[in-house]
Amino acid sequence: MRAVVQRVTEASVTVDGRVTGAIGVGLLALVSVEDADSEQDSQYIAEKIAGLRIFNDGDGKFNLSVEDVGGAVLVVSQFTLHGDCRRGRRPSFTAAARPEHAIPLYESVVCMLRARGLEVATGEFAAHMLVRLINDGPVTILLDSKKVF
């Protein structure tokens, strides 16, 4: 499972002209599920998102998590994070999980974040989404449950 996590001052997702999720200060997490992923991968990603110390403390150092600052998380499914561009010019998405496998693991990440007491908003799985954000910093972190990077 992969995630691109961005520290934001605000973020929202719109589908067909309606806002499906919006947050103020917090994290935007773009999440992709791979065929080989399991519940353990969901747990790893959820714990990393909740615990990432990428918010400034009183000294301006990255010592606080989204939980520490009372922020929210906007979780958006994005299978293109598993796009393989090593050959040719068009990405291959064969490593990305099919919806029947991906949806339960994506929803598991959302449930685990909510279980930690975080406010969590979401996009709409497999929909064409417009994602708006104001990246704070900018701060962008890449996560991979297989620890590829």
Active-site residue identified among 14, 78, 122, 140: 78
User: Is residue 149 among the annotated active site residues?
Assistant: no
CA distance 50 to 46: 6
User: Is residue 78 among the annotated active site residues?
Assistant: yes
Residue at 29: amino acid letter:
A
CB-facing half-sphere around the CA of 78: CA atoms within 13 A: 18
CA distance 72 to 8: 10
Active-site residue identified among 6, 14, 79, 122: 79
Q: Which residues pair with 96 in a beta bridge?
A: 34
User: Is residue 62 among the annotated active site residues?
Assistant: no
CA distance 52 to 118: 13
When computed from its CA atoms, the radius of gyration of the chain, rounded to whole angstroms, is 15
Active-site residue identified among 80, 125, 140, 149: 80
Q: What are the residue numbers of the active site?
A: 78-80
